[in-house]
Amino acid sequence: MSKIACIGECMIELRERADGRLDRAFGGDTLNTAVYLARLGVAVDYVTALGDDSWSDAMQAAWAGEGVGIGMVRRIAGRLPGLYIIRTDPSGERSFLYWRDSAAARMLFDGTEGAAVAARLAAYSVFYLSGVTLSIYGDAARVRLLEALTRAREGGSRVVFDTNFRPRGWPDPEVARALYRRMFALSDIVLASVDDLRPLFGDAGESELAAHAAGAERVLKLATPCVRVATLGAEITVAAMAVARVIDTTAAGDSFAAAYLAARLAGHGPEASARAGHRLAGAVVGHAGAIIPADAMPARENFT
């Protein structure tokens, strides 16, 4: 069985209500995907760093309760998780405010302990990470991570990259463009969107993806609710099903990624996998928050 390492950051999530009160939860793009993968029956570990505080304890316990492996969580004394606030407008679209500059996750690959974390990645057969993942590390840590992924891929592992681009995480756009091009070339599956590619590459976004990820399976979310999946020698467009009511679009892309990967790992083709992704994302946007209640999950047999 394939075991996925989801690499990234989980933060404390504060959701602002209409009356100004805040609800607390935990979230982060790759963590959301890890939880949905676990719910779909996929073996997955979350690879990150946390502090030695009570909120970090609660995060780790919550992940374990969801079936996400926590054996690759590095705990760093004196550090805390990052924090963000979500504001949602009447149409369900959200905006974010972040406090994360000194978060423990940024130190995951630093020092001798960070080198040990990178070495242990060789045990995994599939890796999932995002543009947000890359944005939180310093230059040396990125080099260490990319070298570990390259070695693992040379040994037969697969790399899945979600473009998930947040401009505020990239003070130097040229650094971002160079890293994205390298990840395109390193990946076996790229989950991209026109909304991510445009601020990075302008009108050349799709051609940059095609050129640098020529050998990868490319799943491109278009401006309309559909995806275009390109594999070697074939290209299909798969439209999303209509959603009765959109409450909150948080984690729509993260859940799509989880269901798409779960279906692909189970042997389904790109079209069926894209439909599975749409199905889960459609359920997720009908609820507030990144992680919907477990009893709101569509039946697992619809994905694998």
What is the DSSP track for 91-158? Answer: TS-EEEEEE-TTBGGGGTT-HHHHHHHHHHGGG-SEEEEEHHHHHTS-HHHHHHHHHHHHHHHHTT-E
236 contacts 228 by C-beta, under 8 angstroms: yes
What is the C-alpha to C-alpha distance for residues 46 and 254, in angstroms, rounded to an integer? 14
In a 13 Å sphere around the CA of 31, the CA atoms on its Cβ side amount to 25
Q: Which two tokens mark 19?
A: 């009356």
Kindly give the residue spans of alpha helices, DSSP state H, lying in 11-97.
29-39, 54-65
Handedness of CA 12, 15, 20, 23 (dihedral sign): negative
Hey, is 10 helix, strand or coil? Answer: coil
β-strand pairing of 3-7 with 43-50: parallel
What is the C-alpha to C-alpha distance for residues 132 and 28, in angstroms, rounded to an integer? 9
What is the C-alpha to C-alpha distance for residues 130 and 8, in angstroms, rounded to an integer? 8
Exposed / middle / buried, residue 151 (Cβ in 10 Å: 0-12, 13-18, 19+): middle
Strands lying side by side in the sheet with 3-7: 73-75, 43-50, 3-7, 126-130, 158-162, 189-193, 217-221, 226-231, 234-239
Residues forming the active site: 254
